[in-house]
Chains A and B, each alone.
Chain A
């Protein structure tokens, strides 16, 4: 059934677990599909010994991509008019990620959302906003 703006109220919220255990292989998959082969995401030796991080970490865009699902699963396909995020904290292999979207405004058939993805420590890793045209 098609979601319309009248089905929603400010404050409505949805939560979805995006991954229980983010794998290095998924990060490699994202590197291959997106074309971003930065060794910081796939090359542990480089990341530890040259870049000075404890190990590889996920592309911010992987977390943004995964987080987008909570919006598109809710509003329907091809209806987003805007989606933007800040990368607040790094995402590491083994992280459990949970996304929450909240309706912040409704104006006619345009609905605005806040979105946040947190890790297993409840620390935000991505925060953002989106808008969709419904109906």
Chain B
């Protein structure tokens, strides 16, 4: 992931906070946040993940004029129609999607809490990768990535470490 410009905006924070069911006034609006102990609006701890909105290549957002792998007239927009876990990765890649990768871990380090007015960049580098056997989902392939969020002054504000897991088959529950 590379994001050249992630403008942190009050209404985006408000919508994000609503979606996680958090009515804290520091996330609601500038006037409401002004009445809190902090006195200003900040973003919730996991908000940096919404930088996906500003990643031009993010595979899990439909792109205008391009096929999408979710359902429409058929259960999948992927051309082969057989995009079970790992079975037609190429087709799914064309229509978006992330090849059956699930989120295994997410870690954030906060150097400073971001708020409206910040304009961030994000750069991601690969970390470790490893495999594990699982009874519930077969061979698990783990991939780590580290994302650094910097503000308009080039200062590091958040370091994020995500681990994705590609399962051999859907996870049994």
Contact = CB atoms under 8 A, between A and B. Distances in A.
Contact of A52 (B12, B84, B106, B110): B84
A54 interface: yes
Interface string A30-55: 10111111110011011011111110
A5 interface: no
> Looking at chain B, what size class is its interface with the partner chain?
35 or more
Nearest to A36: B60
B98 A38 contact: yes
Given A64-B106, A83-B108, A33 B12 contact: yes
B169 A52 contact: yes
A134 interface: no
Given A39-B69, A52-B84, A84-B108, 7 more contacts: A30-B19, A33-B15, A52-B85, A60-B106, A61-B46, A68-B44, A78-B42
Interface of B: 12, 15-16, 18-22, 24, 26, 36-38, 42, 44-46, 49-50, 52-53, 58, 60-62, 69-71, 75-76, 78, 81, 83-85, 97-98, 100, 102-110, 113, 161, 169-171, 173
21 contacts: A26-B19, A29-B19, A34-B19, A38-B97, A38-B98, A49-B75, A50-B76, A50-B84, A51-B100, A61-B103, A62-B20, A65-B44, A68-B44, A69-B22, A71-B45, A77-B42, A78-B113, A83-B107, A84-B105, A86-B105, A87-B106
